[in-house]
Amino acid sequence: MNEKLIDLFEYTHHYNREIIKLIADQILKVDEKTISLINHTINAQQIWNSRILGEQPFEVWQINTFDDLQEINHHNFMISTQIVQNFNLDNRIGYQNSKGTKFENSIFEMLFHIINHSTYHRGQINSLLKQNGIEPLLTDYIFYKR
């Protein structure tokens, strides 16, 4: 199970990296919503990792320096894989969402949410890129495995 989860994080890291690169290459055509969504996607992984580790999370919609996104994405990947390798994924963690509401989920649920959430927002980003005349990336998992 852990190997499969790490594979999914490798997939997530890869396509986050490719989307960031595409946006950087086409920055003059990219709208603010796209910039906001790629930041939100990267921030969310940091937030969930931080909840698991009991550390200070980013803000949900904070805009990072664009040049830092690749580094944040890579750091997120490293932390997520370390969590997979070193934590009992059945352990439950209490946390507060950005509105202060308290919840509790297993580490596995939190990690799977990171992957699913990233995939969802990359799809939104691809739609926005296409609307702005930029050829979207094929980011389906099966393309990654081919």
CATH at residue 25: 1.20.120.450
Determine the Cα–Cα distance for residues 79 and 140; give it in Å rounded to an integer.
23
* The overall pTM is greater than 0.75: yes
What is the count of structural domains for the chain? 1
Tens-digit pLDDT profile for residues 65-112: 988 999 999 999 999 999 999 999 999 999 998 899 999 999 999 999
The three-state secondary structure class of 100 is coil
Q: 91: exposed, middle or buried (C-beta count within 10 Å: 0-12, 13-18, 19+)?
A: exposed
Two tokens, residue 109:
């649920």
* pLDDT(47) > 90: yes
The three-state secondary structure class of 140 is coil
* pLDDT(125) > 90: yes
Determine the Cα–Cα distance for residues 101 and 47; give it in Å rounded to an integer.
15
Q: 104: exposed, middle or buried (C-beta count within 10 Å: 0-12, 13-18, 19+)?
A: exposed
CA 72 from centre of chain: 10
State which residues form the domain around 77. Answer: 2-145
